């Protein structure tokens, strides 16, 4: 099955990453960083594989993966939207923007990635553009002086782009 083939291929890649770093426990964070850079998140079966391959208890690997905010155990969407909630953005009403984006992308409860896999919505501390507050980033591109309405329009444009791929003239 395709899933099994993918998993075997992933394990081979992960084994190569572990091979480059070695199996010392101090290498766990750099290994997880490299694995996440490759797959955009840390799949559960790969965490198990890392545990076995490095001889580190699964609870330790899982604990490290969940402790650091930089790691994600959930697949990220094609568009990763980060709403800045640092002080400058917060006082300029970043939270209504965040709520509008979650609603627009159909996110409920603890979900941060939309069911269609298009959008991941997160908050982030200051992104260093306080003079442009409130800001959001989409795949690391900064959008300045946001409002809930402007954010909804941007998401509409991204949704349209997915339905009607960019025309070439
Ligand atoms: S607080 Fe949002 S960019 Fe600094």
List pocket residues of ligand 1, CB cut-off 6 Å: 84, 86-89, 126-130, 133, 135
Q: How far is the CA of 72 from the centre of ligand 1 (A)?
A: 22
Ligand 1 mutation pick, 82, 88, 140, 144, max ligand atoms within 8 A of CB: 88
Domain ranges of the chain: 2-67, 79-163
Which among 54, 139, 153 has a CA at the least distance from the CA of 97? 153
**pLDDT > 70? residue 23:** yes
Q: How far is the CA of 129 from the centre of ligand 1 (A)?
A: 5
Among the atoms of ligand 1, which is closest to the Cα of residue 127? Answer: 3
Ligand 1 mutation pick, 84, 92, 136, max ligand atoms within 8 A of CB: 84
Q: How far is the CA of 158 from the centre of ligand 1 (A)?
A: 24
pLDDT of 123: 95
Q: Top-level CATH class of 79-163?
A: alpha beta
Longest dimension (CA), the chain: 56
Query: Residue 25: CB partners within 8 Å, gap ≥ 6?
Result: 54, 56, 60
Residue nearest to atom 1 of ligand 1 (CA): 86
Q: pLDDT tens-digit profile of 72-130?
A: 888 889 999 999 999 999 999 999 999 999 999 999 998 899 989 899 999 999 999 99
Which among 66, 68, 84, 78 has a CA at the least distance from the CA of 127? 84
Q: What is the pTM of this model?
A: 0.69
**pLDDT > 50? residue 3:** no
pLDDT tier at 166, thresholds 50, 70, 90: low
Q: pLDDT tens-digit profile of 29-60?
A: 999 999 988 887 899 999 999 999 999 999 99
């Amino acid at each position: 099955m395709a899933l099994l083939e993918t998993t075997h291929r992933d394990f081979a890649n992960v084994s190569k990453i572990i091979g480059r770093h070695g199996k010392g426990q101090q290498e766990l964070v750099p290994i997880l960083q490299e694995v996440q850079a490759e797959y955009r998140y840390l799949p559960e079966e790969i965490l198990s594989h890392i545990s076995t391959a490095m001889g580190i208890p699964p609870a330790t690997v899982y604990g490290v993966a969940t402790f650091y905010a930089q790691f994600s155990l959930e697949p990220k969407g094609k568009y990763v939207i980060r709403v800045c909630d640092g002080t400058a953005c917060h006082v300029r009403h970043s939270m209504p923007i965040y709520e509008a984006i979650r609603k627009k992308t159909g996110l409920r409860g603890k979900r941060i990635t939309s069911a269609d896999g298009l959008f991941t919505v997160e908050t982030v501390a200051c992104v260093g553009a306080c003079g442009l507050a409130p800001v959001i980033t989409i795949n690391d591109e900064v959008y300045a002086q946001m409002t809930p309405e402007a954010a909804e329009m941007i998401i509409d444009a991204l949704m349209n782009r997915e339905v009607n791929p960019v025309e070439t003239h």
